[in-house]
Structure 1
Amino acid sequence: MTVLVLDGSKRASLAMVRSLGRNGVPVHVGECHHGSLSAFSKYATESVQYANPQDSREAFVDDIKQILSQHDYEMVLASREVTTLPLSYYKSELETETIIPYPGWEMMKLTVDKSETFKIAEEIGLPTPATYYLDSPDELNRLTDDLEYPLVVKPRSKTTWVGDKPKMMKVTSSNYVDNFEELQQITLEIYDAVGVMPLIQEYIPGDGYGVEALCDEGQIQSLFMHRRLREYPITGGASTYRESVCKPELEQPAVDLLASLEWNGVAMVEFRLDNRDGLPKLMEINGRFWGSLPLAIAAGIEFPYQLYQQYRGETVPSVNYEEGVTSRWLLPGDLLWFVSSLKNSSSKLNTVQQFGAFHNQNYDILSISDPLPVIGAIQNMLHQGIDVLKGNRNLSGEVI
């Protein structure tokens, strides 16, 4: 039977299409517009279109229900939070027609709301940044004598629905504050936007790592780790270049946290390895597929196909992955990193040398065996470029 993969313009969705297709699973691709990146893959046999969830969650869900009534899909996968969360929220309704291989909303919201995530982590004794939980802006004044800068002001959720439309708020350079005036300003901006106070956290200096897992009621079926080597924006954003690693000090905290949640399905637990004390400090959990998914697959862990096997009731074989494997999001992610780094770097030659190292690398999109998605990548770049010129997006690709 066929699997429907949503968010066809995203790299993670392309990785899902390729993983399932290579393993003999028929795949259709969905997106809110025609000509998505993944639709160009040789493994995608058909495309469907649905309402943009950024315009209306209800219209998106209604369209998915309509699509499911017209096609016999065994399973529906997604990669963006704005699509995964409605699938989780409406899981019981949608599963009358298909399998939704993500946790239901009661479990999912423990990762969506960072205050819930950090409270659980603190209860089980995981290292976390010092975190302040406030209910109203008035409470900021009582913290003035306790705070040490720099601090990070984090929205409790990346995606918050205001009525029928999602408000998406990521941590950017403006969320890092060095004094009370900056803290007050960004806190009030977030509160006014979504009506919920953000988290105020200690800044953790150190490299970023991801621990990815497939779980069955909290029991680890597969585990993978990676280290971020480059990201865009360079002040903190999506990874454009990363490497598979094995850090034993990261494994147990991730395993303990996922076990405490009794997590089902895939998840990525993000840490920073604190330069000051060497401890891995929790950053967040993503209860969905992650942008650097192509790296895990290149290193030997076929998470999409394994998730498919698990929800079909099949045995997921134990697989080891290769360390030192790299994967690169060249178009446009690493290209934007290069332009930004060249502008801000004190050693432009070093930046050029880093970017120019093409030997023995894997790519998120470029593939000799499945070359046509690069056409979709170029189309995406052109469309986003037009949106930037119109003022509808910033250079990071975020909708303004």
Structure 2
Amino acid sequence: MEKRPPEHAQRQERPESETEEVTVLVTAAQRKPALAIARTLGKREYEVVVASHHRIAQSFFSRYATHTAVYTDPKRNERAFVADLLATVARYDVDVLLPTDHVTTISVLRFRDRFASDLSIPAVEYETLLATEDKARLLSIADDIGIPTPDTHRPGSLAELEEIAAEIDYPAVIKHNKGVGASGVQYVTSPAELRSAYDSSGESTQHIERDWPLVQEYVPGETHDVNALFAEGEPRVAFTAHRTSTFPRSGGRAVITESTREPELVDSATRLLEHLEWHGVAEVEFKLDADGDPKLMEINPRIWGNIDLAIRAGVDFPALLCDLALTGAVTPPMSYAVGRKVIWIDEGLASNLWASSGRLDYARYVAREYVTGAETPVELSDVAPHVVRLLQLGARGARAAVQGGWQTLASSVAGESGA
């Protein structure tokens, strides 16, 4: 399945650092970061190959997708996924590979040595990725270098769980030790709920396996992100954003975000990423506690879900990442627009409107944000991907109505990372 953009597509001049006919392969074409990447690189005259394990993915229908490819779902067969990706790289003579979701990032970095040396993958080494995957390990590293984190406990037995249940403050949070995003997060308000939550996770033995959930302090405030680009452990670009609305409403993927300038958060994120000798992009997530002080939550080691905001505010991370991949050099923007807002019209917004109390007030809030200047990622000159996505959302909503209402859709949305 192939499709080239129309000849009359509006293009932007590419920086002098870029070479002619550079081809970039972008994974997870079904998710919104891939569409944003395809658009911004396509406008700079890159050849963009978008790929997915879905046969119908929104980015396949973008005018900026030069080629499309389908690969095996890495969750089902990781080695077949890598083989498919290698074939796509060879077929289109790919110069830069950008994995853009959690699963493909892990697989690409795990099998990095399978790819040819002339293919650039501007990302951290797999061992560094593992440090960010393990939340307990990451928070321990942050504690060691003086970055505030939520109080976090990692039970090693049911006896330890009982001790923790008796000592901690409530509400508390249970979350998976591995992975990113809101998937698997539970909130408990008492020791009994904490024990029940572990039972519902399948705990029936006297010892909790290494990757069983963490028990963590509940941090009630909103989420603030530091989006960064590093080159071999050296900071190059930083951008901050505030998630003013999320799904779930208690914290998760962005529904509405605003560009900010928060130097204290940048300082904390920079110290952490320098310590990890970071390379490539990262999203460092903080939440504000009851006193308004930021606490580190996690690192997203790839291009993040709300990348559109940074691009629209003047920090084109995908283009800068390609500069890093191709030349090793990055020229950061002199500044960026603060106060720019983006609303994502997707399952998160739909679920917040329909699957929660106070939906009318929430609808008024979203409408007010839009009327007062918040943008959406919809581009009328490239509208086909949005039509496809809305049709997919409608189909999912219809299935959810049959299977259990919007709560069913909400649960499936919460399980998606970086969408």
Q: TM-score under structure 1 normalisation?
A: 0.89
Compute the displacement of 1:263 (Å).
0.5
Q: Distance in 1 between matches of 2:71 and 2:154?
A: 38
Cα offsets for 1:327-382 (capped at 9, x unmatched): 111134323322235xx12x83x433212233333213x11332222122123313
Q: Name the residue aligned to 2:254.
A: 239
Q: Which moved more, 1:309-318 or 1:183-192?
A: 183-192
1:363 paired to 2:376? yes
Q: Name the residue aligned to 1:211.
A: 226
Q: 2:309 aligned to 295, 302, 323, which one? A: 295
Q: Residue 231 of structure 1 aligns to which amino acid in structure 2? A: T
Q: 2:46 aligned to 10, 25, 36, which one? A: 25
Distance 1:219 1:390, change over 3 A: farther
Distance 1:121 1:313, change over 3 A: same
Distance 1:53 1:394, change over 3 A: farther
Q: 1:187 aligned to 191, 198, 211, which one? A: 198
Q: Name the residue aligned to 2:215.
A: 200
Q: Which moved more, 1:132-141 or 1:68-77?
A: 132-141
Partner secondary structure for residue 275 of structure 1: coil
Instruction: Judge conservation of contact 2:124–2:280 (CA < 8 Å) in 1.
Output: yes
Instruction: Judge conservation of contact 2:222–2:251 (CA < 8 Å) in 1.
Output: no
Cα offsets for 1:296-349 (capped at 9, x unmatched): 1111110011011001125311211110000111134323322235xx12x83x
Q: How many residues in Structure 1 have an aligned counterpart in Structure 2?
A: 384
Cα offsets for 1:45-82 (capped at 9, x unmatched): 11110111232223222221232233311111122101
Indicate the percent of aligned positions where both proteins have the same amino acid: 31
Q: Name the residue aligned to 2:12.
A: none
1:75 paired to 2:96? yes
Q: 1:228 aligned to 219, 237, 243, which one? A: 243
Q: Name the residue aligned to 2:178.
A: 157
Cα offsets for 1:246-274 (capped at 9, x unmatched): 12221211111111101100000100122
1:116 paired to 2:129? no
Compute the displacement of 1:150 (Å).
1.2
Q: Residue 286 of structure 1 aligns to which amino acid in structure 2? A: N
Distance 1:220 1:97, change over 3 A: closer
Q: Name the residue aligned to 1:317.
A: 331
1:85 paired to 2:109? no
Q: 1:327 aligned to 342, 352, 371, which one? A: 342
Question: What is the root-mean-square deviation in Å for CA atoms of aligned residues?
Answer: 2.4
More strand by share: 1
Partner secondary structure for residue 257 of structure 1: helix
Partner secondary structure for residue 346 of structure 2: helix
Q: Residue 206 of structure 1 aligns to which amino acid in structure 2? A: G
Unpaired runs of at least 5, structure 2? 1-21
Q: Name the residue aligned to 2:354.
A: 339
Q: Distance in 1 between matches of 2:383 and 2:34?
A: 16
Q: Name the residue aligned to 2:31.
A: 10
Q: 2:281 aligned to 260, 266, 273, which one? A: 266
Instruction: Judge conservation of contact 1:298–1:362 (CA < 8 Å) in 2.
Output: no
Compute the displacement of 1:286 (Å).
0.6
Q: Residue 40 of structure 2 aligns to which amino acid in structure 1? A: S
Q: Distance in 1 between matches of 2:153 and 2:374?
A: 42
Instruction: Judge conservation of contact 1:129–1:202 (CA < 8 Å) in 2.
Output: yes
Q: TM-score under structure 2 normalisation?
A: 0.85
Q: Residue 55 of structure 1 aligns to which amino acid in structure 2? A: R
Partner secondary structure for residue 349 of structure 2: helix
Compute the displacement of 1:97 (Å).
6.2
Distance 1:171 1:81, change over 3 A: same
Compute the displacement of 1:236 (Å).
2.9
Cα offsets for 1:227-247 (capped at 9, x unmatched): 111112223331111101112
Q: Name the residue aligned to 1:165.
A: none
Distance 1:76 1:396, change over 3 A: farther
Partner secondary structure for residue 211 of structure 1: strand
Q: 1:130 aligned to 124, 133, 151, which one? A: 151
1:354 paired to 2:375? no
Q: Name the residue aligned to 2:300.
A: 286
Instruction: Judge conservation of contact 1:37–1:380 (CA < 8 Å) in 2.
Output: no
Instruction: Judge conservation of contact 1:191–1:198 (CA < 8 Å) in 2.
Output: no
Q: Distance in 2 between matches of 1:131 and 1:97?
A: 42
Q: Name the residue aligned to 1:162.
A: none
Compute the displacement of 1:171 (Å).
4.1
